[in-house]
Amino acid sequence: MARDIGIDLGTSSVLIYVKGKKIVLEEPSVVACDCETGQIKKIGREAEAMIGRTPPHITTIRPMRDGVISHYDMTLCLLQWCLRRALGSMAYRPRMVICVPSGITDVAERALVAAATQAGASKTFLIEEPVAAAMGAGIDIDAPRGSMVVDIGGGTTDVAVISMGGIVVSDSIKCAGDKFDDAIIRYMRRKHNLFIGDRMAEEIKMKIGTVWAGDSEKSMEVKGRCLIEGLPKKIVVTNREIMEAVEEPAQQIMDTVCRVVEKIPTELLSDIAASGIILTGGGALLSGMDKRMAKATGLTCRIAENPVRCVANGTGLALEHISEMQDGTQNVAGRSRRRNA
């Protein structure tokens, strides 16, 4: 009998949940290929290790951008490779539940379903990321009370208020972890005449990145290339500088969350004031994110347990209702927001 699987196919990473086994695979969403021959060289962690270190004819690609497919063939290769690693033999065609941003278009939906089918799915169902995140964070989404989730992934930030098994208010913006990295790269060029790559930017973000002025001071050595001399250069940067660097994307996220809060019906707002905002996704781990969001909204804010895996765990919980699902993006397990053409 075919096993059902849940997939968090994100901009930064792919997580696969197999029913009865929980999360069995977590790999970066990176593919390295030979531009001249089209041959795939490496996928996942091995491909990620090649970023910035390849000869001109080999390129590293993130086939998912802003939560949707940007390179269909590479996404298909990534998905097929992950499924083989997670399931071993593909003698059967499993049913799949895949999470998507709440603002996904019909065209992007169809591309994702087509890629999943070509990769080996017998049936594909899509579930919105904030719903999956809420389920993975342990929220009872069918309860007659309001719950608010902010999922900050690699490519998108999804904000939703959920009550009685449905999304009441939601918003999604293409501003998340990748935009923080880009902002750090731009800042280092502008302020220090230093060119750094994506890997160094992410390391800076993870080690000393912050969006909260109250954090104690930290610093780290940053290596890059001097834009004036063209030679290797090392400098020491502080978390105060990184807070300045990421101010713009951080404020965009705060503005989006505040817009959603302003639209919440009064009855549900009292529920959320009591329970607080739940933060999920890798961006939730950026130092001070919960404190800054609490200050911006006037609501308490807490980070979910293991926020990076909340969406994947939510797709796994949705598998329990897979027999009730209809075609289209699932507003919640068993209910369809719209049907695919």
The pLDDT value given to residue 227: 96
| Separation of alpha carbons 286 and 141, rounded Å | 26
- Tens of pLDDT, residue by residue over 148-165, are 999 999 999 999 999 988
Contact 309, 136 (CB under 8 A): yes
> 3-state class of 188 per DSSP?
helix
Name residue 95's amino acid: R
- Tens of pLDDT, residue by residue over 80-121, are 999 999 988 767 889 999 999 887 888 999 999 999 999 999
Contact 74, 31 (CB under 8 A): yes
Cβ-based neighbours of 10, under 8 Å, separated by 6 or more: 29, 64, 67, 153, 154, 155, 311
> 3-state class of 89 per DSSP?
coil
- Tens of pLDDT, residue by residue over 280-307, are 999 999 999 999 999 999 999 999 999 9
